[in-house]
Amino acid sequence: MRVAVIGAGVIGLSTALCIQEQYHGLVPSLEVEVHADRCTPHTTSDGAAGLWQPYLSDHGNLQETLWNKETFDYLLGHLGSPAAKEMGLFLISGYNLFTQPVPDPSWKNIVLGFRNLTPKELELFPGYSYGWFNTALMLECRRYLPWLTNRLMQRGVKFFHKKVESFQEVSGDGVDVVINCTGVRAGELQPDPELQPGRGQVIKVLAPWVKHFIITHNIESGIYNSPYVIPGSEFTVLGGIYQHGNWNEENSAQDHKTIWENCCRLLPALQKAKIVEEWSGLRPARPWVRLERETLRHGHFQAEVIHNYGHGGFGITSHWGCAMAAARLFGSILQEKKLASPPQPRL
């Protein structure tokens, strides 16, 4: 049984690991492989700061909230382990700022110590009159993706560094199940008008005195179009750009100016920070994550595809819950093919 995962971002690698870990014992012939034209550090995931935080509202999509919670709890459980440093995983506290009161988010009981900001704390952020404080997690993909890659290679998963042009190319080659984790470029394999790039740009600076994340929100300009500051283990990421429909992966001078001015206004001390890198990436935005099976038929042969893409700006936040869900879908394929006994119930 050959399984090909297309895509080596956080979604592709974690889904591959989930499937390999859960089913290698049940399916002796299981061979998992990863096909990708871009690997760490050149994936979309690598450019993200790595903060676990869903959007403000799940729009009633409880499924996504459950995936987010599963991911948070999974990561929290790994915090005390020796692997945490290598995974790029650590706790971080910080602020979400608003210009008016807002309802509590769906994730308020998932994160640690969620509370409203006190008036004295708001003095730190002129122009913002309401906010939250909580402790969440950072998962830096520049470390996490290599860690996942190592785990996969240790388990015998093969990597193929090439661009996949079609599902048939892979399934016609003897692959039984294709896991589609192609992110923003999923439309190249199968048209999906719901999937659009949510272009972001970030400036990475040296500002080691910043110990908190600060995410501002502007209801009018929309998510991620308001300045944010996220301190990593080496660099601090400054951002605040979200351009729907913009495919340009080149850095924009105008966006640089917007990010820099807004972030320095938010944290005056940043004026002294040294700029180290600038990066643009395309969030794979979709009204909801496409996480479902599809049977593709072409004449005589058919291919089982599991789609797992469209995570927008919360890929890291939801990745493990989604990987587990994809693994469950894989289990149902195995059942149908009578290749495995019914899977054990999992959370």
Partner 1 sequence: MAAPKVAVVGAGVVGLSTALCVAETCPSCSVMVLSDQFSPNTTSDVAAGILIPHTYPGTPIHVQKQWFKETFTYLFAISNSAEASEAGIHLVSGWQVFKNTPKEELPFWSDVVLGFRPMSEAELQKFPQHRFGQAFTTLKCDCPPYLLWLEKRLKATGVQMCTRKVADLWELHSEYNIVVNCAGIGAHQLVGDEKLFPVRGQVLKVHAPWVKNFIRDGDGLTYIYPGIHRVTLGGTREKESWSLSPDPGTTKDIFDRCCSLEPSLRGAQEMKVKVGLRPSRWCVRLQREVLSQGGVKLPVVHNYGHGAGGFSVHRGTAKEAARLVRECIAALQGSTSKAKL
Nearer to partner 1 (CB atom), residue 104 or residue 234 = 234
297 binds partner 1 (CB under 8 A): no
The C-alpha atoms of residue 31 and residue 7 are separated, in whole angstroms, by 16
Amino acid occupying residue 160: F
- If one asks whether residue 271 binds partner 1 (CB under 8 A), the answer comes out as yes
- Whether a cis peptide bond, with omega within 30° of 0, leads into 41 is yes
Q: Give the closest residue to 97 by CA, choosing from 227, 270, 207.
A: 227
The yes or no reply on residue 301 touching partner 1 (CB under 8 A) is: no
Tokens of 329: 């879908």
Please indicate if the annotation marks 124 as binding a ligand: no
Strand 301-309, strand 177-180: pairing: parallel
Residues 107, 97: Cα–Cα separation, whole Å: 16
- List the one residue from 219, 269, 275, 276 that touches partner 1 (CB under 8 A): 269
| Binding residue for partner 1, selected from 79, 153, 219, 275, defined by CB under 8 A | 79
Kindly tell me which residue out of 104, 188, 194, 234 binds partner 1, with binding defined by CB under 8 A: 234
Secondary structure class of 24 (helix, strand, coil): coil
Q: Of 115 and 244, which has the nearer Cβ to partner 1?
A: 115
Rounded Cα distance between 294 and 19, Å, is: 17
265 sits near partner 1 (criterion: CB under 8 A): no
Q: For residue 212, state whether it binds partner 1 (rule: CB under 8 A).
A: yes
Q: Please compute, for residue 55, the number of CA atoms within 13 A of its CA located in the half-sphere on the CB side.
A: 23
Annotated binding-site members: 37-38, 44-45, 49-51, 53, 164, 182, 217, 228, 283, 312-317
Contact residues: partner 1, CB under 8 A: 79-82, 84-86, 88, 90-93, 112-113, 115, 117-118, 120-121, 123-124, 133, 135, 138, 207-212, 231, 233-234, 268-269, 271-273
Annotated binding-site members for D-dopa: 53, 217
